[in-house]
Amino acid sequence: MKYLSIATGLFAATTALADTPELTIYTYDSFVSDWGPGPAVEKAFEETCACDVKFVGAGDGAALLARIRLEGERSQADIVLGLDTNLTAAARDTGLFAEHSVSADYAFPLGWNDPQFVPFDWGVFAFVKNADLDAPTNFRDLGASDLRIVIQDPRSSTPGLGLLMWIKTAYGDQAPEIWEALADNIVTVTKGWSESYGLFLEGEADMVLSYTTSPAYHLIAEQDASKDAVKFSEGHYMQIEVAGKLKTSDHPELADRFLDFMVSDRFQSIIPTTNWMYPAVTPASGLPKGFETLVVPDKGLLVAPDKVQALREEALSEWLSALSR
């Protein structure tokens, strides 16, 4: 197998001399932005692949999946990067994704054995606050408190959906009560993460739904230790972001090489300080200084991809009726 991939690798390299192959990667918009991982990843892979990497941005993870569904088998994409475990089942159902052969020693709990999708980073949802604020450490106490929070709409935002699944996995049938108790704490619900985070920084809310890694940005990029995340005793819902290769790819070998590269140190060490998430595989050099200060949950929560769809419908209607009163 390895022999074969070396052979195809050589073959790809010789054709590259005549005509550089182009690897098209669809991803979410913030990945390709000048401040995201895109530019560095493109440069690093192009140094080794004798190819052109072309990133195409499409909204966020959910918009990305919609885009692939619209394009179907005619898609120009070789790789789709940026779906998460809430979307992988629906993505698999399209029948567009090929199997991969990547194996790695993943850093996140709960393990990984998805035949089509390869993780590239992961994060943990959490409420972020100013460090000097004493905050409740579970949803029941939060609901009983008079703290003000700002969250995102699960219908238009990935973290918003994450919170929905978080409360649903932690509380099951009691989720509606939790939401009813939280209703008077919620200042407002925004379309996306950026609006919420902006409102929080403006002082509109005491806490914002974000990631445990958010304080790392302020600490590392701004030398500002004034933000931290709250550790909840129920455990925290996780987001594992993945990439997959399309069956219709014109450059299947190159796409496979990219997926291998994706779990390598070179790619993984770009992630923490550009995407502000945890790398899927901890690089040999470890995590950047500052990450050791972050909150680490006692328990990671995650719904199995094939159970997401049904649970999400139920949780959304509970959410809507609790907050629409």
Partner 1 sequence: MAERAVAINRWPGAVAAALVAALVLGTLLAVVLRAEAGRGLGPAEWAAIRFTLVQAVLSAVISVALAIPVARALARRRFAGRGLLITLLGAPFILPVIVAVMGLIAVFGRSGLVNVALRWAGLAEISIYGLHGVVLAHVFFNLPLATRLILQGWQDIPAERFRLAAQLGFGPRDIFRTLERPMLARVLPGAGAVIFAICLSSFAVALTLGGGPRATTVELAIYQAFRFDFDLGRAALLASVQIALVGMAALIALRLSRRDTFGAGLDRPARRWDAQTATLRVTDTLWIALAALFLILPIALVLADGLPGLARLPSAVWRAAGVSLLVALGSTGLMLALALPMAVAAATGRGWLEAIGLLGIAASPLVIGTGLFIVIYPVADPVALALPVTGVVNAIMALPFALRILVPATRDVVQGYGRLSASLGLTGLLWLRLVLLPRIRRSLGFACGLTAAMSMGDLGVIALFADPETATLPLQMYRLMGAYRIEAAAGAAVLLLTLSFGLFWLMDKGGRGFADA
For residue 63, the minimal CB distance to partner 1 (Å) is: 6
Annotate each residue in 189-228 with x if it binds partner 1 (CB under 8 A) or - if it does not, as one string. xxx-xxx-xxx-xxxxx--------x--xx--x-------
Is residue 180 part of the contact set for partner 1 (CB under 8 A)? no
Candidates 5, 46, 50, 76; binder of partner 1 (CB under 8 A) is 76
Closest to partner 1 by CB, 163 vs 263, is 163
Contacts to partner 1 from residues 35-74, by CB under 8 A: 35-36, 38-39, 54-59, 62-63, 65-67, 69-71, 74
Is residue 188 part of the contact set for partner 1 (CB under 8 A)? yes
Annotate each residue in 84-123 with x if it binds partner 1 (CB under 8 A) or - if it does not, as one string. ------x---------------------------------
Closest to partner 1 by CB, 67 vs 266, is 67
Closest to partner 1 by CB, 263 vs 294, is 294
Q: Residue 122 and residue 272: Cα distance in Å, rounded?
A: 10
Q: What is the CA radius of gyration of the chain?
A: 20
For residue 220, the minimal CB distance to partner 1 (Å) is: 10
Count interface residues toward partner 1 (CB under 8 A): 58
245 - beta bridge partners? 79
Closest to partner 1 by CB, 10 vs 70, is 70
For residue 34, the minimal CB distance to partner 1 (Å) is: 4
For residue 127, the minimal CB distance to partner 1 (Å) is: 16
For residue 82, the minimal CB distance to partner 1 (Å) is: 13
Closest to partner 1 by CB, 99 vs 250, is 250
Three-state SS string across the chain, please? CHHHHHHHHHHHHHHHHHCCCEEEEEECHHHHCCCCCHHHHHHHHHHHHCCEEEEEECCCHHHHHHHHHHHHHHCCCCEEEEEECCCHHHHHHCCCECCCCCCCCCCCCCCCCCCCEEEEEEEEEEEEEECCCCCCCCHHHHHHCCCCEEEECCCCCHHHHHHHHHHHHHHHHHHHHHHHHHHHHEEEEECCHHHHHHHHHCCCCCEEEEECCHHHHHHHHHCCCCEEECCCCCCEEEEEEEEEEECCCCCHHHHHHHHHHHCCHHHHCCCCCCCCCEECCCCCCCCCCCHHHCCCCCCEECCCHHHHHHHHHHHHHHHHHHHCC
Contacts to partner 1 from residues 254-283, by CB under 8 A: 276
Quote the tokens at residue 67: 């885009």
Chain residues binding partner 1 by CB under 8 A are: 29-30, 32-36, 38-39, 54-59, 62-63, 65-67, 69-71, 74, 76, 90, 148, 153, 155-156, 183, 186-191, 193-195, 197-199, 201-205, 214, 217-218, 221, 276, 316, 319-320, 323-324
